[in-house]
A and B are shown apart, each in its own frame.
Chain A
Amino acid sequence: MTNHVLSLRGVTKRFGGLVAVNGMDFDVAEHEVVGLLGPNGSGKSTTLNLVSGALPLTSGNITLWGSRISGLPAQTINRKGVSRTFQLVRLLPSMNVRENVIVGAVFGHRRRWGHDASEHADHLLERVGLGGKGDMSLGQLTYIDTKRVELARTLASDPKVLLLDEWLAGLNPTELQIGITLIKSLRDEGRTIILVEHVMDAIRSLCDRCVVMAAGTKIAEGTPTQVLSDKEVIRAYLGDDDA
């Protein structure tokens, strides 16, 4: 039997009349990188929001290592080892770069404080390519650097499960290669990752498996090669006018 870290069963989210996520079922195994694909508005971010506890489910349930996390508040889910980035980068404007990373280290899955947290933050900044920039204010950062700070914050609690919402979007080709290498290194150190992504290069080189959504429903699941040649997937991406 495979070791499921995360399982979604019949996960549904309704916003008024709109069903943004409709009966999603899928599992994520330990150390696996799963890509969550689909056209804009298909419910990928909402699915991540349901897993991270940002939004309550309308129905269905989500388990982490077999115990139910749906219904728990975001802070509890984070302490259990699930950490995420946001599609629109969210950093804390009143704090410098280092403090923004420390934020992730103090209250989460694995806790640090004081000198220990500060040292850990500097180490993570080094790792995401921002070594020596800890004292900078956020205003001095380029777009990719803000994304790096957010990733460093996300890693600061030593999470077991990472949820990355279009973390590679908006990067130029050089930055993209750096980004892909970085995410590979996260997977090599044993983290389990769900990746919402549009960049095909990244999907092919990073994902063990993909789940494809359209209009809130799962329409395909398999290896990147399998799903990217699936007729329904191609129709969802190219066939509809709004894709």
Chain B
Amino acid sequence: MRNLILAALAFGICALLPFGDNGYWLGLGVTIAMFTTLATSWALFSGPTHYISLATAAFFGVGTYVTGLGIDTLPFWSLVGLAGLIGAVLAALVGLATLRLSGVYFVIFTLGLAELVRQVITWVQNNTGQKGLYVLTDLDEAGIYWWLLGLAAAVFLTGWLIGRSRLGFALRIIGDDETVAAHSGINTARAKILLFMVPGAVAAMTGAILAPRYVYIEPSLAFAPILSFQVVIMALLGGASRLWGPLVGVIPFTFLLETVSSNFPNQTTLVIGIAFLVIVYLLPNGFVGLLDRVLRRTKANEVQ
């Protein structure tokens, strides 16, 4: 309960950001809020199951296109909801097709998914003679920020509820030993698909919210595979074993990327690559794992 109040307070303070600054810091705030929703929802599924999903870009891109296609006819809030629905259904279909397979196939398939959807949209656009979509709204940067913050709060609340539910417990068991899970009465395929729908819906909603920021959207922008990798790295850097873990990775990594891309615009991919190696070698369980180790050591010292 105390944690809930603290979290609500933190969100309240974050919500004040647009009143303090409307330029650089707000832009950074939008990026952090975006990666927080993406990485936190990603870890809800991938943390316990250890399935590495590279489908973020696919869901995100679908979301931007929902806004791009519907902005002239439907209210913005309904587009965000619709994107979530489509993202969840797409995730369920991907889950049905792949989650019975082993982890490696899952990684490859999810990576291919973004490319597949991108190719389909490009093909449709080539055949209709349309190149991209203009997204013109009166939603400004502050509005986008508040939308993303609201979504982030919903993601944390969902994660907190799942952590207390039978579904969350089932996923932890599956992550430890899928055979034991099945022999304990858990419908492992159903549990995995249900949980995979969460990052699917959230990434699509994030894309829908951010579409107005791009003004003009085209497939190569909306479905950029680098987004999927960034989300994985941030979540792992923070640590996927706790709800707040990814956030701890998102904030420093966003600042790092920001610094690099403004000083060495062509080296962004290199930074991502190096960060990946650092995580794998030095921080296999992210900052969360590091913290756990330190805490355990202090505890052991106290006992002595």
Chain A residues near B (Cβ < 8 Å): 52-54, 73-75, 78-79, 83-84, 86, 90-95, 102-104, 106-109, 113, 153, 157
Q: Does B202 interact with chain A (Cβ within 8 Å)?
A: no
Pick from A52, A94, A95, A106: contact of B183, CB under 8 Å: A52
With a cutoff of 8 Å between Cβ atoms, the chain B residues found around residue A157 in the complex are 184-185
In the complex, A153→B170 CA distance in Å? Answer: 14
Known: A73-B182, A92-B172, A113-B166. 14 other contacts (CB 8 A): A74-B182, A75-B184, A78-B182, A86-B179, A90-B180, A92-B173, A95-B172, A103-B169, A106-B166, A106-B170, A106-B184, A107-B185, A109-B185, A153-B184
B175 lies within 8 A of chain A by Cβ: yes
Q: Roughly how many angstroms separate A209 CA and B182 CA in the complex, as a whole number? A: 29
C-beta contact mask, B175-211 vs A, less than 8 Å → 1, else 0?
1110111111111100000000000000000000000
**A106/B179 in contact, CB under 8 A:** no
In this complex, the member of A52, A78, A90, A92 whose beta carbon has the largest number of chain B beta carbons within 10 angstroms is: A92
Contacts from B to A (Cβ < 8 Å): 166, 169-170, 172-173, 175-177, 179-188
Q: A106-B166, A107-B166, A113-B166 are in contact. Are A95 and B176 (CB under 8 A)?
A: yes
Interface centre among A54, A73, A75, A91 (most CB of B within 10 A): A75
Instruction: Identify the closest chain A residue to B182 (Cβ).
Output: A74
> Which residue of B166, B170, B172, B183 has the most chain A CB atoms within 10 A of its CB atom?
B183
Closest to B180 in A: A90
A53 to B188, CA, bound (A): 14
A54 to B172, CA, bound (A): 20
Residues on A with beta carbons closer than 8 Å to the beta carbon of B185: 75, 78-79, 106-109, 157
Q: How far is the CB of A105 from chain B (nearest CB, A)?
A: 9
Query: Provided the pairs A73-B182, A92-B180, A113-B166 are in contact, do residues A103 and B188 lie with their beta carbons within 8 angstroms?
Result: no
With known contacts A106-B169, A107-B166, A107-B170, A92–B176 Cβ distance under 8 A: yes
Determine the residue in chain B with the shortest Cβ distance to A163.
Answer: B183
A75 touches B173 (CB 8 A): no
| Also in contact, A75 and B186, with CB within 8 A (given A94-B172, A113-B166) | yes
With A90-B177, A93-B176 in contact, is A75–B169 under 8 Å at CB? no
Q: What are 20 A-B contacts defined by CB distance under 8 Å?
A: A54-B179, A73-B182, A74-B179, A74-B183, A75-B181, A75-B182, A78-B182, A90-B180, A92-B173, A92-B176, A92-B180, A93-B176, A102-B169, A103-B180, A104-B184, A106-B169, A106-B185, A107-B166, A107-B170, A108-B184
Question: B190 — nearest CB in chain A belongs to which residue?
Answer: A75
